[in-house]
Chains A and B, each alone.
Chain A
């Protein structure tokens, strides 16, 4: 079945460590996105990519980095520079930048 796979589901890290969240899709979608969700809040865009080897900052890119070396993969690295990294991270994709958005099941990151 086609879909978006995020791993792991839960992730725990110590403060000061970088951590990479995985996002893989087999939908053959060109566009991929990373969102952050804090309790009781909406989703905020971290980074997005319309094509391979190209990506743009979203509204809250500071302290995060991404790569898009393959169409199906869009990993997100949460660096030690991110001041409040504990959150629910959601990866999404769409056929192109104007199509319906489909989400993975998310990764809950806890940094202590």
Chain B
């Protein structure tokens, strides 16, 4: 099956720093999503980004599907950005149904 690799696995930042999270995937995908899981376990959808670039406040994401990677940028990080960031990709399956495959996540800690 498709492999999703996220890097770095862990990152510690001081508040105000910028960071880039990378997601590599092993096969062609129909779509890609980024999620943030807060320390209480809640998962929030950050971006739905099959290709191109999107921005939402201090966060932006770029997916280059032809080269099988996506990047999530966090600028001017805040303590509330702490948590685990997941990349998930969609792949076609038998019968045309789509299923998301998640990477193992990247734990971000932002210190005040």
Contacts and interface: CB of A to CB of B under 8 A. Distances in A.
Main secondary structure of the interface of B (DSSP, over half): strand
Given A42-B103, A42-B105, A102 B45 contact: yes
Contacts, number: 55
A61 interface: no
B41 A48 contact: no
B41 A106 contact: yes
Contacts of A43: 86, 88, 102
B97 A100 contact: no
A42 B84 CA distance: 10
A105 B105 CA distance: 18
Contacts of B1: 59
B48 A99 contact: yes
Nearest to B48: A100
Given A98-B31, A99-B48, A90 B43 contact: yes
Contacts of A56: 97
Given A42-B103, A42-B105, A98 B45 contact: no
A45 B41 contact: no
A59 B102 CA distance: 12
Contacts of A103: 35, 42-45
A103 to B, nearest CB: 4
Contacts of A88: 41
A106 B42 contact: yes
